[in-house]
Structure 1
Amino acid sequence: MKLIGKLVIGIVSGIIIGLVAPEFLIRIIVTFKELFGQFLGFTIPLIIIFYIASGIASFGKHSGKMLGITAAISYASTILAGTLAFIVALIIIPRLVGSSGGSAEEGAGFEPFFEIAIDPITGVMTALVIAFVFGIGITRINSPTLQSFFDEGKEIVERLIWKIIIPFLPFYIASIFAELGADGAVFETLKAFGLVLVMAVVVHWIWLIILYIIAGTYTGKNPFSALKTMLPAYFTGLGTMSSAATIPVTVRATKNNKVSDGVADSAVPLCATIHLSGSTITLVICSVAVMVLANGLSLPTFGLMMPFIFMLGIIMIAAPGVPGGAVMAALGLLSTMLGFDETTLGLMIALYMAQDSFGTATNVTGDGAIALMVDKLIGDSSNNHAA
């Protein structure tokens, strides 16, 4: 919540500065925005390589059967949640914010005083392939040296995020809104943001209800009673904004739904790493909104968004442990697949961070439904094998 407060202050102060500041000050702010945006782009492949490789390598600690079943259901949940979010966004957002776009455009009248190119070490897709090759390879050859390299690399990147990116993030958001304020586009953008955030939370709950109806129907449990049992995990996730920090509460609530101890103790921590349906819903809805608002972008089609959603389901492995991890991990996809520039990426960060706690709460609550289905599948499989 402290970070959200700083981001709100950044947005408000940025708007005020943008409305009253002279042009030379706006150019200084735009220069900072460009430099920080370059540095942010440099960190994206590092996040993907070290977080995904480290995460996949850690899967070796789980049984193959548990991992396979949990990963398959989690990925399906994430993809279906993202698809639902896109359908809702496609229907509602153009009617809410208008389909003409252009309110979140990058101001052509304010150029930075200078630019420094900070090239990333590799492209997003190459980073993703590297992460999977080494992550899977570590589980196959059982290399403690490589495991340690990627774990320690992950720790370095995480400290980079905590010590540099997160402290400067409110200033970066302020710089974006200062430019929007100077361009005269800020109030339309803020109005659209409020509507989009409310819609994201509503879709979160629609998906949770759908997910628990599916789980309840398959397991023979009352879906609404099971969902009610998971509410402590929801509100804990709302407060902590961390799936990892909420694991103990999620495990306890899952066991209260009569999930076996072995499945609850294994599936819930695994889901905290790979099941981020709430975060995916928010990313999809917010990306559609930004594309509608921005100049140079248009209302996305299924052909454009479905590959993006499928890739989100994979790249979300890099999200846990990073503050606002889902949007940080997704920045590369947003730029390469959807054509976002520095301004629209900054708007995505602001939008996502504003509801990060609700996305996390949806993620951890959905983990309980996944655990119900995994417990049933493993129990049925064991019974059939015994027979």
Structure 2
Amino acid sequence: MLRHILKVANSIIFKLVLALLFGLFAGKYLPQEVQATLYSISLSLKDILIFILPFIIFSCIFSCLLSFKSDVFKFIIVLILCICLSNFISTIIAFNVSHLALSHLDNFSNINQEGHTSLKPFWNLSLPSLISNNVALFSGLVAGLIFSKFRNKRVDVFADKMRDSVTLFLNKAFIPILPIFALGFIIKLESDGVLTQILSSYLPLVLAIIITQYVYISLLYFIGAGFNIKQFIYFVKNVLPAGIMGFSSMSSMAALPLTIQAAEKNTGNRDLSRTIAPATVNIHLIGDSLAIPMIALVIMSTFGPGFPDISTFLIFSFYFVLAKFAVAAVPGGGILVMITILETQMGFTPEMSGLITAIYILLDPIITSANVLGNGAFAILTTKLFAKKAAE
């Protein structure tokens, strides 16, 4: 029992909740100098992350594409296109659901900052941008595709080392200080007088995310089952343990053995299941593709630049889908690589980035569970596709 309590107390979510509660109830009582210092630290941590983000993006997307061990280049290309299409459809669903929900909810637009002074940081690092994230993204994509076609053992080893270095940095250096990263922005929001209003207004968002995720994923299983209810129940029963594991561990990788087992049962194709499930575990992310845009759109409508038009969102979706290949397999990894895209394509401020990071991590168990269940449905649908192509 004590061991379980210590494990919970050491979790990133527990620490983030503490940071949120501290910022909400005690932040305003801190001296102005302390508030400004914490805000400056958060901004500095964000600047450091943005500075090294191109390396993270290149390393993750390059090693991800090389992790496809199959030598069949056509198979890899088709699978990548299926992943991109699925993630893109999820983002479009998120846009439409958010647009519909926001048109019926007034409390998101009632947040204001009247009567509050804006907190100013003591310093700002303003680190230079050595290479743009877009260049890193496309370079990793092109290099990954080339070396997945023309295999080289030294390149594979180099890619693995880059991936391990990024994972080590995030797990040992950045993830542990995420509560501090979020705390400064939480105190900034409380200083501006919007944090309490945000927390009281965002419950409908959480409910909308949960309902959208599980309704859409259920639809995918229905399609995979040929709209046969008995077959649908069989599919869900097999994949549910993997979804529970994803929820409790906040890790799609930890749930992978159960995901593979469920895919084998649901598809009846052992070889394809053992190829598709591991290859897509960290890049086919329905939970992320629905949750992140929905949270972002609500934040924009709350105190950002406003709800974007469809052309702006489509450009964002393009970069968003590609950036999914650069997501690191760590808690909160789904949002870390998206911060720059949100700031460059959607007009996010540092405070908005801090807020979406905090909300995302708090919802991480739900989002990860949806990712795992979505991967189970993806395995069924793509196995049917590849089996049909092989039969032609």
Match of 1:241 among 237, 250, 255: 250
Q: Which of 106, 114, 127 in structure 2 is aligned with 1:118?
A: 127
Residue 141 of structure 1: CA displacement?
3.0
- Work out the percentage of aligned pairs sharing the same amino acid: 24
Partner residue of 1:9 out of 18, 37, 42: 18
Give the counterpart letter for 1:5 in structure 2.
Answer: F
Distance of 1:137 and 1:101 partners within structure 2 = 51
Which amino acid in 2 is paired with 1:368? Answer: G
The change in CA–CA distance for 1:94 and 1:181 in structure 2 (over 3 A counts) is farther
Distance 1:103 1:67, change over 3 A: farther
User: What does residue 298 of structure 2 align with?
Assistant: 289
The code of the aligned residue for 2:42 comes to K
Aligned-partner Cα distance in 2 for 1:66–1:253: 22
Residue 376 of structure 1 deviates from its aligned partner by: 2.1
Structure 1 position 220, deviation (Å)? 10
2:220 counterpart residue number: 211
CA contact (8 A) 2:59 2:159 kept: yes
Which SS does the other structure have where 2:357 is aligned? helix
CA contact 2:60–2:326 (8 Å) conserved in 1: yes
Q: Which has the higher helix share?
A: 1
Equivalent AA in structure 2 for residue 364 of structure 1: V
Q: What TM-score comes out, normalization by structure 2 length?
A: 0.90
Helix, strand or coil at the partner of 1:275: coil
Is residue 308 of structure 1 aligned with residue 316 of structure 2?
yes
1:30: how far off? Answer: 1.9
Deviates more, 1:190-199 or 1:259-268: 190-199
The question of 1:298 aligning with 2:306 is answered yes
CA, structure 1 residues 230+75, in 2 after alignment: closer, same or farther (shift >3 Å)?
same
CA shift for structure 1 position 172: 1.6
Alpha-carbon distance change, 119 to 338 in structure 1, aligned in 2, over 3 angstroms: same
In the TM superposition, 1:1-387 aligns within 5 A as: 2-61=11-70, 63-96=72-105, 98=107, 100=109, 103=112, 109-217=118-226, 222-295=231-304, 297-384=305-392
Q: Show structure 1 runs of 5+ residues with no match.
A: none
User: Is the 2:182–2:354 contact (alpha carbons within 8 Å) kept by the matching residues of 1?
Assistant: yes
Paired residue type of 2:39? V
Task: Assess, with a 3 A threshold, how the Cα gap between structure 1 residues 211 and 138 changes in structure 2: closer, same or farther.
Answer: same
Question: Within 1, Cα distance between the matches of 2:352 and 2:336?
Answer: 13
Could you list the per-position Cα deviations for residues 39-77 of structure 1 after superposition, in whole angstroms to 9, with x for gaps in the alignment?
Answer: 121132122110001111222435335434433332222
Separation in 1 of the partners of 2:264 and 2:160?
A: 30
Deviation at 1:103, TM superposition (A): 4.4
Output the CA distance in 1 between the equivalents of 2:181 and 2:93: 31
Counterpart AA for 2:124: E
- Matched residues in 1 for 2:190 and 2:336: separation? 25
Q: CA RMSD in A?
A: 2.3
Query: Is there any run of 5+ residues in structure 2 with no aligned partner, and where?
Result: 1-7
**Contact 1:33-1:176 within 8 A present in 2 as well:** yes
Distance 1:220 1:100, change over 3 A: closer
Q: Report how many aligned residue pairs link the two structures.
A: 382
Moved more, 363-372 or 107-116: 107-116
Aligned pair in 2 of structure 1 residues 99, 13: CA closer, same or farther (>3 Å)?
closer
Q: How big is the shift at 1:115?
A: 2.0
